[in-house]
């Protein structure tokens, strides 16, 4: 089932999502929600989706960065972004710890801020402790784009959007991003914007 993705301005996106108990995680409704979120993320298409984005205030997110998406990037971007394929994962009640605070600045979008993108600084490497869809404890160590996805989705669970972290001068429509910046580096953008 494909779920409706709520857009910025919906109060659920600004609330702190509640944790799920082990019994809730293993329940049929939450198991069905995980499958529906996976299908919705893939249909969008996106690399992550948090439960608040489909109107459910739960500490639950799904992520997946398929090799197909990476193969469509302009030459050199996958390496620059340290982007590698990430298999489907459900993250429940996650806690995030920054392991390497050095920041990477790249354009980032969001399914709940449809039609726009901006440069967002994110920590280079993180550790996430969470439960998976079987309510088993999992520790994830990630860097580069994988770390960015985790930070973005866990922000959603805390009522934050990339808009709260973005370099506001870089905020643009996806149409203009594709027209002017898709094949350029962030440094090219800042040179053109005569900023930084």
Output DSSP code: residue 3. Answer: P
Q: What is the CATH number of the domain that holds 151?
A: 3.90.45.10
For residue 122, tell me if it sits in a domain: yes
Percentage with pLDDT > 90 across the chain: 91
Q: Among the listed ranges 57-66, 70-79, 156-165, which one has the minimum average pLDDT value?
A: 70-79
pLDDT, residue 37, reads: 98
Show the domain range for 33: 11-193
pLDDT for the residue numbered 183: 87
Whether residue 4 lies inside any domain: the answer is no
Q: pLDDT, tens digit, for every residue of 70-97?
A: 999 888 889 999 999 999 999 999 999 9
Rg, Å, the chain Cα set: 16
- Is 19 within the bounds of a domain? yes
Residues 111 and 169 sit within 8 Å (Cβ to Cβ):
no
Residue 2 inside a domain? The answer is no
pLDDT at 195 over 60: no
**Exposure on the CB side of residue 163, measured as CA atoms within 13 A:** 15
Does 1 fall in a domain? no
* Residue 5 located in a structural domain: no
Q: What average pLDDT does this structure show over 155-162?
A: 98
- Mean pLDDT for all residues in the chain: 96
In angstroms, the Cα distances linking 91 to 37, 130, 134, 191 are 12, 6, 10, 38
What is the reported pLDDT for 196?
Answer: 46
The two structure tokens encoding residue 123: 């920590």
The reported pLDDT for the residue numbered 194 is 74
Identify the pLDDT of residue 120: 98
First-last CA distance in the chain:
45
Taking phi first (over 0 means left), then psi (-120 to 50 degrees means alpha), and beta for anything else, what does residue 115 get? Answer: left
pLDDT of 34 > 60? The answer is yes
Residues annotated as catalytic (active site), given as ranges: 153
Name the domain count of the chain. 1
At 100 the pLDDT is 92
Tally of CB atoms within 10 A around 79: 11
Q: Compute the average pLDDT of residues 112-131.
A: 98
């Amino acid at each position: 089932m494909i779920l409706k993705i709520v857009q910025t301005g919906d109060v659920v996106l600004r609330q702190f999502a509640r944790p799920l108990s082990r019994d809730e995680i293993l329940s049929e409704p939450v198991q069905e929600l995980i499958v529906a979120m996976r299908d919705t993320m893939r249909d969008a298409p996106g690399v992550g989706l948090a439960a608040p984005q489909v109107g459910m205030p739960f500490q639950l997110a799904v992520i997946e960065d398929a090799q197909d998406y990476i193969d469509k990037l302009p030459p050199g971007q996958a390496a620059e972004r340290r982007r590698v394929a990430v298999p489907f994962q459900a993250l429940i009640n996650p806690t995030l710890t920054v392991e390497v605070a050095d920041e990477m600045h790249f354009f980032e979008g969001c399914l709940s801020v449809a039609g726009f993108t901006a440069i967002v600084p994110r920590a280079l490497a993180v550790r996430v402790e969470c439960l998976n869809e079987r309510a088993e404890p999992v520790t994830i160590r990630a860097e580069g784009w994988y770390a960015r996805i985790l930070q973005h989705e866990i922000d959603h669970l805390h009522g934050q959007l990339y808009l709260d972290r973005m370099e506001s001068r870089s905020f643009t429509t996806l149409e203009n991003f594709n027209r002017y910046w898709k094949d350029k580096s962030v440094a090219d953008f800042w040179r053109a914007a005569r900023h930084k």
